[in-house]
Amino acid sequence: MVMSHEANNMKVIFLPFISTSHIIPMVDMARVFAMYGVDVTIITTKGNAAIFQKSIDRDFNRGRSIKTHVLEFPAKQVGLPVGVETFNADTPLDMSPKIYYGLAILQPQIEKLFEELEADCIVSDMFHPWTVGVAAKLGIQRIIFYAASVLSRSAVHTLEQHATHTRVDHDSEKFTMVGLPHKLEMTRLQLPDWMRKSNAYGQLMKMINDSATKSYGAVFNSFHDFEGAYEEHYKNAFGTKCWSLGPVSLWANQDVSDKSERGDTKVEEGEDSDLLKWLNSKKENSVLYVSFGSLNKFPLSQLVEIAHALETSSHDFIWVVRKNNDKEGEDEGFMEEFEKRVKESNKGYLIWGWAPQLLILENQAIGAMVTHCGWNTIVESMNVGLPMVTWPLFAEHFFNEKLVVDVLRIGVSVGAKEWRNWNEFGSEVVKRDEIGKAIGLVMENGKEAEEMRLRAKGLSDDAKKAILVGGSSHANLIQLIEELKSLKLQRLNGLCCC
């Protein structure tokens, strides 16, 4: 008979997807597990490990049981240049299928590792639906990790069940998503393409949903005061458990070193301090932070509209801009001139590439942000209580916008009408007037902005409480770890537990 203390050494393996914005929150979550005594291993490839390894080394030196198991990406075998093994804004479109192929080649190796490392539980990104079968074979729990909101998962489920989007006459007519805790309306144009017309991605989503229902449960980077009503909806819809364990960015990154070195490693030394000096010279709540995540690039026509809106607004700004390598040279003249002007007037600060987002957001000078509604960014913005201008683009962004604008009422929509793929420009160009109007609404001192700011600050307080002893995410984490230990004990004693 195995005694309970022998089940205390819980080994949990985290398997992130190979895109920067899936890796970042899963690694933060893994680090939180390690903070609470779990023996954590993260499995990924060398190029992807480089995105977060410094934080793992710091945690290890803090005495936590956490490590990365690094695999060699089969670049040669799939015909990719060495180092191209991540989905981000710089991933060449034609190389994407090869990256997926490389990942598929690694699958048997990863499967073997779960066994060799004697995992008690696998926390798997949604994009590895096959891990559900492996966990069942090993007799251990598989937990699905979503780098997305609970609301978005609920919305997709309800649309699959009730198909209200198929009952309107045209793509820009509004339909209601029935069965959700709030009355939310969208148009077909705002839905991902695979929900409008069957395609390969839709097949993958079916496999993911199937794996979700067969999982022991789901974990989200969210918290009860943020999406509590949707946690219940998810549990009923998928028939599994569900734990909100966020905000993981707040929980895992409490030191400046954690915040400044998070994510992509391309931040040049000294760059942060120039940026922080600039920010520190600005008045409280006076600067707008504009960022569109780790995957997006805009065509010049859209950059021009954003630039005009920012230059003519009465607020200072930081704008994280990505160079469009495919059309080298095309926008250089315009953006260079723009940067020169806003630098001279001390009105704007452009970051070409990777921004230390957590450090920027928590600076007292930042008053609001313009976001593409990437889930990590929404949660990070909530950590510090910022109202948002919402500008959804792809993935589940349009669902996230509903949460921010309609449910929580902490954002103003820029009025984006059309979903597009992450690696496409799409046909919509949001005009400078629309951008300017939305910026004015969140940054100026009107009643509406004031109320939004108060609601956002309230949620920021809730976020901070959620991760403390007695808070909802803290309680969820402790309960989940205890549950996994007890299941391990049953397994070791030969009692079925899956």
- Interface residues toward ligand UDP, by CB under 6 A: 20-21, 24, 262-263, 291, 293-295, 320, 354-355, 357, 374-377, 380
**Residue 240: how many other CB atoms lie within 10 Å:** 16
Cβ distance to ligand UDP smaller for residue 24 or 180? 24
DSSP string, 349-416: EEEES---HHHHHTSTTEEEEEE---HHHHHHHHHTT--EEE---STTHHHHHHIIIIIS--EEE---
> What is residue 68's three-state secondary structure?
strand
CB 248 → ligand UDP: shortest distance, Å?
10
CB 214 → ligand UDP: shortest distance, Å?
26
Residue 180 is classified by DSSP as S
User: Among the options 39, 120, 125, 272, which is catalytic?
Assistant: 125
Residue 288, H or E segment: strand 287-291
Output the six-digit token pair for 70: 């690094």
Residue 202, H or E segment: helix 200-213
State yes or no: cis peptide before 247, omega within 30 of 0. yes
Q: Are strands 241-244 and 217-220 parallel, antiparallel or unpaired?
A: parallel
Distance of CA 441 to the CA centre of its chain: 26
Cβ distance to ligand UDP smaller for residue 296 or 473? 296
For tokens 């001192």, what's the residue? Answer: 445
CB 402 → ligand UDP: shortest distance, Å?
16
CB 224 → ligand UDP: shortest distance, Å?
20
Residue 146, H or E segment: strand 141-146
CB 107 → ligand UDP: shortest distance, Å?
23
CB 481 → ligand UDP: shortest distance, Å?
24
Cβ distance to ligand UDP smaller for residue 45 or 376? 376
Residue closest to ligand UDP, measured at CB? 374
Rounded to an integer, what distance in angstroms lies between the CA atom of residue 77 and that of residue 17?
20
Q: At what angle do helices 150-162 and 224-238 cross, to 10 degrees?
A: 40
CB 134 → ligand UDP: shortest distance, Å?
26
Cβ distance to ligand UDP smaller for residue 291 or 363? 291
List C-alpha distances in Å: 140 to 13, 52, 73, 212: 11, 27, 27, 15
Residue 446 is classified by DSSP as S
Q: Which residues contact 495 (CB under 8 A, 6 or more apart)?
A: none
* 296 close to 393: Cβ distance less than 8 angstroms: yes
CB 20 → ligand UDP: shortest distance, Å?
6
| Whether residue 433 lies in the annotated active site | no
Rounded to an integer, what distance in angstroms lies between the CA atom of residue 278 and that of residue 250?
24
CB 264 → ligand UDP: shortest distance, Å?
7
Rounded to an integer, what distance in angstroms lies between the CA atom of residue 153 and that of residue 158?
9
User: Among the options 22, 224, 315, 474, which is catalytic?
Assistant: 22
Residue 71 is classified by DSSP as E
Q: Which of 396, 471, 24 is nearest to 224 (CA)?
A: 471
Cβ distance to ligand UDP smaller for residue 40 or 355? 355
Cβ distance to ligand UDP smaller for residue 138 or 388? 388
> What is residue 118's three-state secondary structure?
coil
Region label for 9, one of left (φ > 0), alpha (ψ between -120 and 50) or beta (otherwise): beta
| Whether residue 125 lies in the annotated active site | yes
Active-site amino acid positions: 22, 125
